[in-house]
Amino acid sequence: MTKQERAARTRDALIRSAAGEFDRRGYDLATLSAISSGAGVSPGALHFHFENKAAVAVAVEYEAAARLRRTARLEYRRPSDALQNLADTTHALARLLREDVVVRAGFRLSCANDRRTELNLRQEWQSCVQQRLAEAADEGLLAFGPEHQQDLARTVVAATVGLESLGRDNDEWLSPRTVTGLWRTLLPLLAGPDAFPDPEPADTVTPAA
């Protein structure tokens, strides 16, 4: 392993350990010593990579944003229509929030963000949902005309953003069951007669565990 590879591995381990600390204890109570020992490195090694706690938090947020975008991009490449894609992307993002501590900590930091970075993960999630809905409208899949489009789009955005928000206190809100229930309620409102086959509210990508 080259020196660069070792440095990159240490940095990754520090980001993962920091995400765990931020997720468990919040930014204010997280300590640099717990972060370095959680990564199995010395405090000096941490300071080689990050100047202070704020710099570690910024790195966690950027890594979370990168993972969020990568997941959305992967879903987007699947051959399905925009409505199915919207439901599948929500399942994928909920799974990320459930399973990936870096993404979870990134959202938590981004929400508490007092202008530490330009990132806003909640807004990225919102834009992703809005784009898929606009594509569904372009593809002629929606049940409603332009006069109701804004109301429905906002309801979908609010409900999906709400899942993330609620999931912070109780991860049942991000479970496949809850996300499927949300789409079982909302898809019949959204899908017009040209949405064929009917979009599936359950996760069509990851089989149930």
Using the rule CB under 8 A, is 169 a contact of a second copy? yes
Residue 162 engages a second copy in binding (rule: CB under 8 A): yes
Helix axes 146-167, 121-138, angle to 10 degrees: 150
143 scored as a contact of a second copy (CB under 8 A): no
Say if CB 78 and CB 85 are below 8 A apart. Answer: yes
Strand partners, 191: 142
Q: Which is nearer to a second copy, 13 or 128 (CB)?
A: 128
Stretch that binds a second copy, among 19-27, 38-46, 74-82, 191-199 (CB under 8 A): 19-27
Minimum gap (Å) between residue 99 Cβ and a second copy: 20
Amino acid 205 reads V
How many residues in the shown chain lie near a second copy by CB under 8 A?
39
Q: Interacting stretch for a second copy, rule CB under 8 A, among 3-11, 76-84, 106-114, 192-200?
A: 106-114
Give the number of other Cβ atoms within 10 Å of residue 14's Cβ: 25
Identified binder of a second copy from the candidate list 39, 163, 187, 195, rule CB under 8 A: 163
φ/ψ of residue 204, rounded to 5: -90, -5
Cβ–Cβ under 8 Å, residues 83 and 183: no
Paired with 142 in beta bridges are 191
Token pair 């941490």: residue: 46
Q: Is 113 in the site for a second copy (CB under 8 A)?
A: yes
Choose, by CB under 8 A, the member of 7, 8, 134, 158 that binds a second copy.
158
169, 161 Cβ separation under 8 angstroms: no
Contact residues toward a second copy (CB under 8 A) are: 25-29, 111-115, 120, 122-123, 126, 148, 150-152, 154-155, 157-166, 169, 173, 178, 181-182, 184-186, 189
